Amino acid sequence: MLLKVEDIDTYYEMSHILQGVTLEVADKEIVTMVGRNGAGKTTTLKSILGLAPIKNGSITFNDTQINKLQTHQIVQKGIAYVPEERRIIPGLSVRENIKLALLKSKNHDREEEMIDRVATHFPVLKERLDQDGTSLSGGEQQMLAIARALVTDPQLMLIDEPSEGLMPLLVEAIAEIVQQINDSGVTVLLVEQNIEMALTISHRAYVIDEGRIQTSGSSQDILADEEIQRRYLTV
């Protein structure tokens, strides 16, 4: 297993949010975590990255325990994060946003090559390299956020709700990009509220509710299970 999250508990001060979450991601898989608002999806990703330190349990990546490391050390091991709120840096062009992501990565001296890679996956960004990142549309900003993670050559990408706020056509475009990235050899742990999109592109899925994994299985099975959808995935 590439990533193993074993029985973790995560708190925000006194609130006990994740209550014994266990999940696994194999090399080259797309695994998705679906669940309602407040279920604990983002907290799971933040726990893996050391941004929300776990109290109990363990997290291993490539059989190395990472849950005692600092976030930058975890990132250096090959895990990249595309946060829910995208965090495009104001006042910086698309190119500069990408350069900034490269700065601390092992690819810092391969700038032109990495910008070419971005241009291949995201033709719309190629035309906007010198435009201010925050002047991009919502969909383009999402692509930039994914591009910044991609140029660091991660083995695993954690992507938090990439379809949020996007119109259906762009949701489809993002889904295709995630699949392309996976086809190029990158393992993906995807968090989504758009269950249809997420379950269509992923191999396996975990359903989280109230800080606990309620069920898991092949994405196809979960998509077809009306009872699961009714209990955990409808508002």
- Which of the ranges 41-49, 63-71, 179-187, 218-226 carries the binding residues for Mg ion, by CB under 5 A? 41-49
Q: Does 202 bind Mg ion (CB under 5 A)?
A: no
* Contacts with ligand ATP, 60-89, as mask; x by CB under 6 A: ------------------------x-----
CB of 190 to Mg ion, least distance (A): 12
Return the range that interacts with ligand ATP (CB under 6 A); candidates 37-45, 113-121, 141-149, 216-224. Answer: 37-45
Q: Which of 222, 212, 233 is nearest to 22 (CA)?
A: 212
DSSP 134: G
Does residue 43 touch Mg ion according to CB under 5 A? no
Binding mask 183-202 for ligand ATP (x = CB under 6 A): ----------x---------
> DSSP state, 68?
T
Q: Which one of residues 32, 42, 67, 182 is an interface residue with Mg ion (CB under 5 A)?
A: 42
142 binds, among ligand ATP, Mg ion, none (CB under 5 to 8 A by kind): none
Whether the Cβ atoms of residue 213 and residue 175 lie closer than 8 Å to each other: no
Stretch that binds ligand ATP, among 36-44, 123-131, 196-204, 218-226 (CB under 6 A): 36-44
CA distance to 55, 81, 135, 156, 186, per residue, from 2 (Å):
22, 16, 37, 8, 11
Q: Are 49 and 78 in contact (CB under 8 A)?
A: no
Phi, psi of 55 (to 5 degrees): -95, -40
Q: How far is the CB of 161 from ligand ATP (least distance, A)?
A: 6
194 binds Mg ion (CB under 5 A): no
- Name which of 54, 55, 141 is nearest 98 in CA terms: 141
Residue among 169, 115, 183 at smallest CA distance from 144: 115
Q: Does 12 bind ligand ATP (CB under 6 A)?
A: yes
Q: What angle (nearest 5°) sits at the alpha carbon of residue 23, between those of residues 17 and 87?
A: 60
Name the residues that contact ligand ATP, by CB under 6 A. Answer: 12, 15, 17, 35, 37-43, 84, 193
Name the residues that contact Mg ion, by CB under 5 A. Answer: 41-42
